[in-house]
Amino acid sequence: MSVIAIPFKNEDPNVVLANIRTAAGHPRIEEVWAIGHTPDIRRGVDEIIGEGPARIILFPEERLGSLRPGKGDAMNTALQRADRAGIDRLHFYDADILNFDSDWIDGAEEAADRGFDVVRHTFPRAATDAMITWFVTRPMLAIKYPGTILPRIGQPLGGELLLTRKAISELARNEDVRSRSDWGIDTVLTHAAVASGFSLYEHHVPDGKQHALYGSLVELRDMVLECFDAAASLDPRQPPPVRHQRDADAAVPESLKATTAYDYDSSASIVTATPSPQESDLIERLQPALSRPVRDLAERGDWSGLDAPTWYEFLTFALPRFQLGDPGWDAFLFRMWTGRVLWYTTEVAIDGYDAAMGYLESTVRGYEQRAGDLSSRR
Ligand SMILES: Nc1nc2c(ncn2[C@@H]2O[C@H](COP(=O)(O)OP(=O)(O)O)[C@@H](O)[C@H]2O)c(=O)[nH]1
Ligand SMILES: [Mg+2]
């Protein structure tokens, strides 16, 4: 039996309810699990329960993890329940998707029918969207696992995926997955599935995922820090080769190419804000080890040197040192990431969608190459 799990928090109730309805109306789906405790969504779900054909069940996330309680607890609640109930296929979809329809479900089910253990949805994103994927997760995976599939997965932070029975049962027993209650859950699940040797299909959604975008980059602060921490925490051993296929890319919608995904002006003030005493202390301590462009950003809010090689060096420097929850490190890492995003926006994204995507992909490949050369010389 196939189940769809939809974690929700502060989303537009109409969007969440429409997605629950779509999920419950699909012939392959027997149950829809809506996981969260926002009161107006609970009330709305109460009204559509029983519309069928699939059963809709609403329950809050359990406190399973050890980090900030968040999306990870919600996903792990579904994973544990699916394991206990012996569910064959568990789909996850974010609650805020505006263009969720039966094609997403069909695409995942069909790949599972062809024998893939895990299916991940992948889709085009605006040139200035996915800034954590492009400047934290994929670079970190490139640095740690060069030459493997891990840095090449399109949406390593994607919350849209399908796990088959084998994967459910293995991942439900994985302590790193279970403890990751925060935004780090996606990174840890992506890594654990590959490290466990599961075959992977990437199903392409050509229209892109239309969902809630951001104002200032400040809204992404927790996500940046938790995703960095999750990537840094991953077992450094290289994963085994896994069977992997993906749909061919399709033409990207023009509207998506023209989308600006965050507000530049309000974000620029993040890098120029006066550092807290903790951040100043940290920078002073690290100062002798920091490169010139990093110091220029830390001390004067000047992000003009945050190019790809500087960012590689910064990530490898922060990798063994960053401490999630340390106010100095949190502020410093977030300021640096913001500077890197601003640099990319003004130096690269400005040249248009295709050039931007070429830059982002080749930067990750370049990092893999650099990390691979280093590890072969060790
Ligand atoms: N149950 C539950 N759901 C959450 C929590 N945090 C986030 N979510 C849901 O996780 C999904 C992804 O969150 P979203 O803010 O859209 O992340 P983004 O698309 O990666 O920026 C959405 O459906 C959220 O409602 C949480 O603490 N509990
Ligand atoms: Mg979203």
Within 13 Å and on the Cβ side, how many CA atoms surround 252?
16
Q: Is the domain of 125 the same as that of 232?
A: yes
Q: Tens of pLDDT along 256-306?
A: 998 888 999 999 999 999 999 999 999 999 999 999 999 999 999 999 999
**Of the residues 257, 288, 312, which one is the last residue of a structural domain?**
257
Q: Is the domain of 250 the same as that of 269?
A: no
Q: Which domain holds residue 25?
A: 2-257
Q: Is the domain of 115 the same as that of 226?
A: yes
User: Which ligand 1 atom sits closest to the C-alpha of 35?
Assistant: 1
Q: Is the domain of 182 the same as that of 38?
A: yes
Distance CA 105, CA 124 (A): 18
Residue matched to tokens 């990092």? 367
Element (H, E) at 200: strand 200-204
Q: Is the domain of 115 the same as that of 164?
A: yes
Distance CA 44, CA 13 (A): 7
- Rounded to 5 degrees, φ, ψ at 82 are -65, -40
Strands (E), 179-254: 200-204, 244-246
CATH number, domain of 133, equals 3.90.550.10
Residues framing ligand 1 (Cβ under 6 A)? 7-9, 11, 35-36, 61, 70-71, 74, 94-96, 159, 211-212
Provide the β-strand partners of residue 244.
200
Q: Which one of 96, 134, 161, 181 would you pick to mutate in the ligand 1 pocket, going by the greatest count of ligand atoms within 8 A of its CB? A: 96
User: Which ligand 1 atom sits closest to the C-alpha of 212?
Assistant: 16
Distance CA 340, CA 215 (A): 17
Domain count, the chain: 2
**Of the residues 237, 257, 277, which one is the last residue of a structural domain?**
257
- 366 lies in a domain? no
- 46 lies in a domain? yes
Element (H, E) at 60: none
Q: Is the domain of 299 the same as that of 331?
A: yes
Residue 65, amino acid: G
Strands (E), 282-372: none
Q: Tens of pLDDT along 42-77?
A: 888 888 887 778 999 999 999 999 999 999 999 999
Q: Which residue has the higher pLDDT, 208 or 344?
A: 344
| The overall pTM is greater than 0.85 | yes
Give 102-141 as a DSSP string: HHHHHHHHHHHHTT-SEEEEE----TTS-HHIIIIIHHHH
Q: Tens of pLDDT along 308-341?
A: 999 999 999 999 999 999 999 999 999 999 999 9
Distance CA 71, CA 6 (A): 10
- 47 lies in a domain? yes
Q: Is the domain of 99 the same as that of 221?
A: yes
